[in-house]
Amino acid sequence: MGSSASTLTPPSSPPGRVWQASAITTHALSEDGARLLAESSLGTSLRLPSNNQSRTGTVYTSLDTRGSQQTLTGTDMYAGKQCVVRTNKVAPVIIKDCREEFQQFLEISEPIIHGSLAEGMLEHPLIKGKYFIVQDFNDVKDTLQTYRLTSAPNFHQASSDQPIFASGQPTVNGLGKVLTHLMSDSHTQILLLNLRSEPILFQRVDDDYVPYSVRHQENIHNMVMMGDTKDSCDHIESCIRKEIVSLAGIEDEFVFYFYDNLDKLQQEPHIRKVEFEEDILLSNEVYAREAFSNPSLRYDRICLPEMGIPTEDLVDQFLSHFRESPAYLDKNNPAFPAVYLISHSGGRRSAIMMVMSCLIYAHKKGTLVKESHIINPKHPNYNDGEYQAVQKLVNHLTDGNLIKQQVDSVIDECSQVINLRTCIIDHKKKLEAAAFKRMQTDSFVEHVHAGCLSALETYCFLITFNAYLRDQMPNNLSWSYNKWLHRNPEVIRLCSQLDFSELSSPPSLLSSQHRVLVYDDYIGLDVLSSQMDIKVSNFRRLMGLPIYGMAQPTRKGLSKVVNHLLHHKQGYSNVIVVNLRSDYVLEVDETSYSVRDMSNLAEPIHSQCSSGKDLEEMEQKLKKELRSKKVWKAYKEITSPAVDIEVTSVFTPEELYEQQRLSTLDMHYRRLPLQYDHCLNEQEFDEIQDLILSFMKESGSWVDNSHAFVFHCRTGKSRTSLTMAVAGLLFYHMTGFPYGANPDEQERVSCPNARYTKGEYLVVEKLIWMLPDGHQVKREVDLVLDRLFETMSPMHFHLREVIFVVFNKGKSTTGAAKRYMNRLSYDFLERYLYLILYNAYLHMEKSGHFQRSFTRWMTEVAAPAGVYELLDNLGFFTLESSPSEFSRLKNRILDRQQKLPFSGVFV
């Protein structure tokens, strides 16, 4: 471009002279100068500024051939309206009427990819090679018909004259109209909250700026979510704008391609001029400028997910606006801001924040309902949101029924666009209809199921938020929402366990072969080779204590174990067999089977949060189903095809043990289903302890070896080992710890990474610093785990050392396996911390004969000390650059849950 340009001599210049230039600031470019530039060979490829911009001009000096110099004044130069072009080694320089301009190069490092929205449509550059820019209103249903008047879809106010407003995304002019309306309505303070986590750009259309969002070419009707904080969203929007401007610079006319109506593609895309960054506005520019020019307006961006609930940090970000102005929380002060909430459509996200804002306002004004409705668990009203998860949450919270009733009332006041409670029942009806008509693995059913759970999660969150306000409003929200949750950890669990549909799954799934029987026993299960002697896999004892473990026994195996403990060398007078399984078990013709779903043959179906009684009732129904025909398909090994088995006798676990009791009155049976393989919650610690204490009431029973406790799960490994460790700690506290529990008695370890195999992670160290005599507490736990491992070493399943082993395995895997191993390593770390905490509890509460449960101790003692902050921020801090998603307690709970095809009824 530059090398081919020759020096132009002004027509009026004397012969023998050329023009040189030095830059100064002068007036705007004249019309003739612009015309001359446009006619030159360089003019079409260079940018001309508009007349309202300042110019960098030039003083011209003429040199004759003898080298003498004459200065040409500005007046003389403008009189000729002349233009000169010269080149140098950097870039071509155009000199025209006292001005020079340099070529601007595009700042695009990636290849420019062109694409079209549909076949036969215009191809054009795509953002990041895959995104289109689509007008925001494409997917918005303006239910309230407010866009024509306010340029803001679904603009509405909560009923009962509460100063809470919401709408879909307004245009720039629409925002001005709404704010003017609020101020004219005597609202002296306005809190404007942008709830969008997707990037939004405002493009000039006619006399307004209209919002556009980013859409992926493969799913054009769904917005692309890119940020989760205000700063990240603002930065992403800025980067997108820069790329749009750069891509527009490729075209001679500086244009880019925008889609206004996806229903009329024959008129798309719209080609609009984008020459400067100010041709497109960012969200922050639109809102922050309003706040800058209006002192009564405060603005913030709270990036809510399109589905799901606000995180604890987002809730506290929202609450910070009320904490910063104590008058807003003072019942004796009428001050309260008009809260204006903006989301994509004014629907779900706006409704959540409207309910939250109205709850704050109602707590301040004292206008919440005072009477509650009691839920009938046998006949729940799903229209009123009385689901199993809600019932459990309400039963846990103080005045839970009243808290729920208050939320219901406020939800109804904010339901002009969407009712957050009734949308659960709408999803429920759609889900159950879809599951009835379609195959169980249908992706549509999975999608509707996820929507149903999301709606229920939102409802439980609002009940929890109201419980927080009820507790903290008298204290002006002195505790953050995050801190309150850490003081009420059971709420986190209850709000993470929402799906109880397994309780209503029909036994007929066995007949339709969506579910099948799989042998409990398998090749390689009996690593301790106890089948030969005792007829049960992995039978073992915790050294020196009357605590035993084993895999699932058959009738013969159970009889052999009980007789071995009662009448042979051991000589116990009572044997307590504890079944830890939370899955469905049936013994068919002296062979033990578990029930599994065809979508996941590797794992039995676990019935979440079911009691032993619930499991026994379902097993009775499954037994009845099995008796309906003679021949069934069953798997001996999940890697081999199913085989036919003839069914003559079927027993549930309860029946199996009752039959054994007919010949062995000194055997006792309990079913204590543990929810997960690798972790216990506080209530499960209490259940294990209460069970043992109920049999050890006499003072001498701890030392006279009168009672033997036999724990079993399906394999005799994970749940059994963990329960044996808990029982061992309790027994040692009652009988005294053996040699090896004191500092000078520990065996010294000298091997690579001994620090980690000994469990000395940073988060563990923080815990033992916090606990009274923490090092000794950990040392005692390590002793029990080491002794437990000595009797089961062929399993290679040391409850402490496996943390480091699994963490390292996770680093060498990829994909789904890597994610699973990563979560498993966090589960093992959490399990180790809980065993240390339980031992600390035993130290502190032993003198009071454990009158206070471990659950209460964790809430009343450990939580205020900051234990749940620790459990909610786990990490291998010295081994990984940053903690994974599983550092959060809620994420670990959610990921542990079985993902099974929906069946039955959503309860």
- Per-residue pLDDT tens over the stretch 546-590: 999 999 999 999 999 999 998 766 789 999 999 999 999 999 999
Q: 326-335, 744-753, 816-825: which range is least confident on average?
A: 744-753
Q: Tell me the average pLDDT across 640-651.
A: 92
Query: Residue 698: which pLDDT band, with cuts at 50, 70 and 90?
Result: confident
Query: Residue 754: which pLDDT band, with cuts at 50, 70 and 90?
Result: confident
- Give residue 794's pLDDT: 65
Nearest to 794 by CA among 580, 459, 610, 540: 540
- Give residue 384's pLDDT: 94
- Give residue 631's pLDDT: 92
For residues 670 and 823, is the Cβ–Cβ distance under 8 A? no
pLDDT at position 842 over 60: yes
Q: Tell me the average pLDDT across 154-169.
A: 93
**What is the per-residue pLDDT across 232-275, written as a single tens digit (0 to 9) for each?**
999 999 999 999 998 988 877 899 999 998 888 888 899 999 98
| Burial 722-760, CB ≥16 within 10 A → b, else e | bbbbbbbbbbbbeeebeeebeeeeeeeeeeeeeebbbbe
Q: Tell me the average pLDDT across 134-152.
A: 91
Query: Residue 796: which pLDDT band, with cuts at 50, 70 and 90?
Result: low
What is the identity of the amino acid at 700?
G
CA dist 415 and 421 (Å) reads 9
**For the chain, what is the radius of gyration of the CA atoms?**
36
pLDDT at position 69 over 70: no
What is the identity of the amino acid at 709?
F
Greatest alpha-carbon span in the chain: 130
CA dist 477 and 486 (Å) reads 15
- Give residue 210's pLDDT: 95
pLDDT at position 405 over 90: yes
For residues 240 and 227, is the Cβ–Cβ distance under 8 A? no
- CA 671 → CA 254, 544, 557, 695, distances in Å? 74, 25, 18, 15
CA-CA-CA-CA torsion sign (253, 258, 260, 264): positive
DSSP letter, residue 127: B
CA dist 348 and 344 (Å) reads 9
CA dist 690 and 150 (Å) reads 64
Orientation of helix 400-413 relative to helix 348-365, angle to 10°: 120
Q: Tell me the average pLDDT across 461-470.
A: 98
- Give residue 886's pLDDT: 94
What's phi and psi for 337, nearest 5 deg?
A: -80, 155
- Give residue 35's pLDDT: 33
pLDDT at position 61 over 50: no
CA dist 489 and 481 (Å) reads 12
Average pLDDT, the chain: 85
**What is the per-residue pLDDT across 498-513, written as a single tens digit (0 to 9) for each?**
999 888 889 999 999 9
What's phi and psi for 586, nearest 5 deg?
A: -140, 140
Rounded to two decimals, the pTM is 0.85
CA dist 515 and 507 (Å) reads 9
Residue 98 vs residue 187, higher pLDDT: 187
- CA 92 → CA 6, 46, 85, distances in Å? 11, 10, 8
CA dist 301 and 303 (Å) reads 6
Encoded tokens for 122: 């215009």
Query: Residue 89: which pLDDT band, with cuts at 50, 70 and 90?
Result: low
Q: 267-271, 353-357, 423-427: which range is least confident on average?
A: 267-271
3-class secondary-structure state, position 121: coil
- Give residue 579's pLDDT: 97
Q: Tell me the average pLDDT across 430-456.
A: 83
Query: Residue 673: which pLDDT band, with cuts at 50, 70 and 90?
Result: very high
- Give residue 569's pLDDT: 66
Q: Tell me the average pLDDT across 328-342.
A: 95
End-to-end CA separation in angstroms for the chain = 73
- Give residue 750's pLDDT: 57
- Give residue 310's pLDDT: 95
- Give residue 296's pLDDT: 92
Query: Residue 704: which pLDDT band, with cuts at 50, 70 and 90?
Result: confident
pLDDT at position 597 over 60: yes
**What is the per-residue pLDDT across 281-306, written as a single tens digit (0 to 9) for each?**
999 999 999 999 999 999 999 999 98
- Give residue 866's pLDDT: 95
- Give residue 94's pLDDT: 56
CA dist 479 and 315 (Å) reads 12
pLDDT at position 72 over 50: no
E strands within 136-279? Answer: 156-157, 164-167, 190-196, 200-205, 208-216, 219-223, 255-258, 270-273
Q: Tell me the average pLDDT across 633-656.
A: 92
Nearest to 493 by CA among 605, 583, 408, 389: 389
Query: β-strand 667-671 against 574-579: which pairing, if any?
Result: parallel
